[in-house]
Amino acid sequence: MIFGIGIDIVDIERMRLAVKRTPAIVNKILTPYEFGEISQQKEVSTLYLEDKFISSLAARFAAKEATIKSIGQSLFVVGLHTIEIVSGESGAPSIRFPEIGKFIPSSKLDTNNAISFMCSLTHSRNSAAAVVIAQSA
- Residue 135: pLDDT band with limits 50, 70, 90: confident
- CB count within 10 Å of CB 107 equals 7
40-94, pLDDT tens digit by residue?
A: 766 666 677 788 899 999 999 999 999 999 988 888 888 898 899 998 888 899 9
Mean pLDDT rounded to a whole number for the chain: 85
C-alpha triplet 59, 54, 4: angle, nearest 5°: 10
Domains assigned to the chain: 2-136 (3.90.470.20)
- Residue 118: pLDDT band with limits 50, 70, 90: very high
Residue 50 has φ and ψ, to the nearest 5°, of: -75, 135
